[in-house]
Amino acid sequence: MPMSPTRDLTGSLLLGGVRLSDVVLAAGTPTYVYDLDGIAGQARSLRSALPAGPNAHLIAYSIKANAAGPIVRALAGEGCGADVVSGAELRVALACGITPDRIVYSGVAKQDDELDFAVACGDRGIGAVQIESIEEIARVEARARAAGRRARIGIRVNPNIDLGDATHAHISTGHDDAKFGVRKIDLDRAVQLADGSPWLELTGMTTHVGSKLPTVEPYLEAARILFRTVRRFREAGELRALTFVNTGGGFSVDYGGGPVPRPADFARAVVAEQRAQGLGDLALYVEPGRALVAPFGVLLARVIQPKVTGSARFLMIDAGMNDLIRPALYQARHRIVPLEDPPGRDGAAESVWHVVGPVCESSDDFGKHTLPRDPPASVAILDAGAYGFTMASKYNGRQLPAEVFVRGGVMAGRTERESAETWARKRAMAGR
Ligand code: LLP
Tell me the CA–centroid distance for residue 25 and ligand 1, in Å: 33
- Domain holding 243: CATH number? 3.20.20.10
- Nearest-atom index, ligand 1, CA of 168: 25
Do the Cβ atoms of 383 and 295 come closer than 8 Å?
yes
420 burial via Cβ count (<10 Å: 0-12, 13-18, 19+): exposed
Residues 307 and 259 in one domain: no
Indicate if 123 and 220 belong to the same structural domain: yes
- Residue 229: CA count within 13 A, CB half-sphere: 29
Write the residue with the smallest CA distance to atom 6 of ligand 1. Answer: 249
Per the structure, the complete domain to which residue 151 belongs is given by 107-286
Query: 286, 321, 336 — which closes off a domain?
Result: 286
Return averaged pLDDT per consecutive 10 residues of the chain, 432 residues in all: 78 97 98 98 98 94 98 98 98 98 96 98 96 96 97 95 76 78 95 96 96 94 97 96 98 95 97 97 98 98 97 97 97 97 83 97 97 96 98 97 98 94 95 94
Tell me: do 407 and 265 sit in the same domain: no
Q: Is 142 part of any domain?
A: yes
Q: Tell whether 274 is covered by a domain.
A: yes
Q: What confidence score (pLDDT) does residue 2 get?
A: 43
Q: Using omega within 30 degrees of 0 as the cis cutoff, is the peptide bond preceding 343 cis? A: no
The C-alpha angle with vertex 311 and arms to 307 and 313, in degrees rounded to 5, equals: 30
334 CB near ligand 1 (under 6 Å): no
Residue 168 is predicted with a pLDDT of 74
- What pLDDT, on the 0 to 100 scale, is given for residue 1? 43
Question: How far does residue 169's CA lie from ligand 1's centre (Å)?
Answer: 12
What atom in ligand 1 is closest to the CA of residue 326?
24
CB 204 near ligand 1, within 6 Å: no
Same domain, 229 and 254: yes
Which of the residues are catalytic?
Answer: 360
Please report, as a single letter, which amino acid is at residue 293: V
Q: Could you tell me the distance, in angstroms and rounded to a whole number, from the CA of residue 172 to the centre of ligand 1?
A: 9
Q: Number of folded domains in the chain?
A: 2
Tell me whether residue 84 is in a domain: no
Clarify whether residues 255 and 376 are in a common domain: no
In a domain, 267, yes or no: yes
3-state helix, strand, coil in the chain (%, to 5): 35, 25, 40
In a domain, 239, yes or no: yes
pLDDT score, position 344:
83
- The answer to whether residues 259 and 403 belong to one domain is no
By three-state DSSP, how is residue 272 classified? helix
Verify whether ligand 1 is closer than 6 Å to residue 293 (CB atom): no
Name the domain boundary from 236, 269, 286.
286
User: Of 286, 320, 335, which residue constitutes the final position of a domain?
Assistant: 286
Is the minimum distance from the CB of 314 to ligand 1 under 6 angstroms? Answer: no
Looking at residue 3, its pLDDT comes to 59
